[in-house]
Amino acid sequence: MSHSRATLANDWRTLAVFATLTLALLSGATAQQLERISDGFVAPLAITHAGDGSGRLFVSEQRGTVRVVQDGLLLEQPYLDLRARTRAQGERGLLALAFHPDFAQNGRLFVHYTDLGGDTVFAELHADPPEASTVDVATERVILRLDQPFGNHNGGQIAFGPDGYLYLGLGDGGSGGDPLNAGQDRTNLLGTIVRIDVDGDAPYAVPPDNPFVGVDDALDEIWAYGLRNPWRFSFDLATGDLWIADVGQNEVEEVNRQAAASPGGENYGWRIMEGDACFDPPTGCDTTGLTMPVLTYTHASGWGRSVTGGYVYRGSDVSALEGAYVFADYVSGNIFVAEGEADDWTARLALEAGFRIATFGQDEDAELYLADHRGGVLYRFVP
């Protein structure tokens, strides 16, 4: 469904009343709120841009389609349609989309989805020409396929780092409590962040400086491990730091920060720990060699029960957020702002959105967006 500018204006007037009541900044010197950009999406799960100067915003829908927002209007025709290859079911479907840093020249883009059998597929497609309004699914080339033992904890995020390599987040394989102990098993890719070179040999090359290259009990592709379900991660555009939000089990949600200078290889603790608390064993766990999260909140706090990772804000529209890490909770709809430096960060509750927040995203100007998963609405942070 496309929307006229008049419809969008009416939507915004309606939202303004709602924003005054529930989206006011709860703390801080400068108020900000959410501006409704477009609706009509079906379970949006990812927001990104192509970096090609077109100003297009690409929104991935769980059912397997990618939609385009151009000049604030949702285009009717899907940019990409993978519905014949994936199915939205629970945590499955089309989970993420990333454009090659040189997309404007090579037209290469990458998707992460679960196939009809529920297994993970990471694939490349080609827009020809790069400014094309649609992508032919026949151009798909599967780069990595991974068996999933259960139906949940697929991870989802894919993103190019400042080093030009592609990073892929994978959950522990699902069920509850990590019955396979995948988080601590470096001989499989479950429960890890994968780092590969998609510009190398087909289907991909392993960067020579990956931390476990040549290590007998670990796969070369692993960049970090000990993760339960790293649903969303992002790179700070200014510093290159990697922020990984890892969904907790029953008690603790966590956010990890990996400094840009890190050589990789961090063990973020799952299933030995859930956030900053022992999990297996429930007390007296050995934390030797584990990297602790920089931010946690408990389910008992009332903040929420399922963390959604966001971004360090590097846009220009909302000066109060400069350098702050903005993230949310899917279940509660709460939005948080964290401020600090190095590994000393403090988060505060900033907005009570009141809807399910499955993802954040940035446009070409680094302005920050989020999506209402159930309502199918795209919002942008504004002062």
User: So what's the pLDDT on residue 28?
Assistant: 39
DSSP 150: S
Rounded-to-integer distance, Cα 288 and Cα 65, Å: 44
Q: Residue 211 belongs to a domain with what CATH number?
A: 2.120.10.30
Banded model confidence at residue 329, pLDDT cuts 50, 70, 90: very high
User: So what's the pLDDT on residue 9?
Assistant: 37
Q: What is the mean pLDDT of residues 80-95?
A: 97
Kind and range of the H or E element at 307? strand 307-312
Whether the per-residue pLDDT at 2 is higher than 80: the answer is: no
Domain count, the chain: 1
Model pLDDT for residues 131-145, shown as the tens digit of each residue: 999 999 999 999 999
DSSP assignment of 74-124: E-SS-SEE-TTT---BTTBSEEEEEE-TTHHHH-EEEEEEE-TTS-EEEEE
Domain that holds residue 60: 42-309
User: So what's the pLDDT on residue 40?
Assistant: 96
Model pLDDT for residues 8-32, shown as the tens digit of each residue: 333 433 333 333 323 444 443 334 5
Model pLDDT for residues 199-216, shown as the tens digit of each residue: 989 999 999 999 999 999
User: So what's the pLDDT on residue 21?
Assistant: 27
Length of the chain: 383
Rounded-to-integer distance, Cα 117 and Cα 87, Å: 9
Residue 48: inside a domain, yes or no? yes
Model pLDDT for residues 65-78, shown as the tens digit of each residue: 999 999 999 999 99
Residue 339: inside a domain, yes or no? no
Banded model confidence at residue 191, pLDDT cuts 50, 70, 90: very high
Lowest mean pLDDT among 26-30, 159-163, 255-259: 26-30
Q: Rounded to the nearest 5 degrees, what angle is found at the Cα of 66, between the Cα atoms of 81 and 169? A: 105
Q: What is the mean pLDDT of residues 223-227?
A: 98
User: So what's the pLDDT on residue 31?
Assistant: 47
Q: What is the mean pLDDT of residues 293-310?
A: 98
User: So what's the pLDDT on residue 210?
Assistant: 98
| pTM of the predicted model over 0.95 | no
Rounded-to-integer distance, Cα 148 and Cα 280, Å: 23
Strand order in the sheet with 242-246: 232-235, 242-246, 252-258, 295-298
User: So what's the pLDDT on residue 22?
Assistant: 34
Q: What is the mean pLDDT of residues 107-127?
A: 98
Residue 332: inside a domain, yes or no? no
Average pLDDT of the chain to the nearest whole number: 92
Banded model confidence at residue 85, pLDDT cuts 50, 70, 90: very high
Q: Which residues contact 7 (CB under 8 A, 6 or more apart)?
A: none
Q: What is the mean pLDDT of residues 127-156?
A: 97
Residue 54: inside a domain, yes or no? yes
Model pLDDT for residues 39-56, shown as the tens digit of each residue: 999 999 999 999 999 999
Residue 32: inside a domain, yes or no? no
Lowest mean pLDDT among 15-19, 142-146, 172-176, 299-303: 15-19
Residue 35: inside a domain, yes or no? no
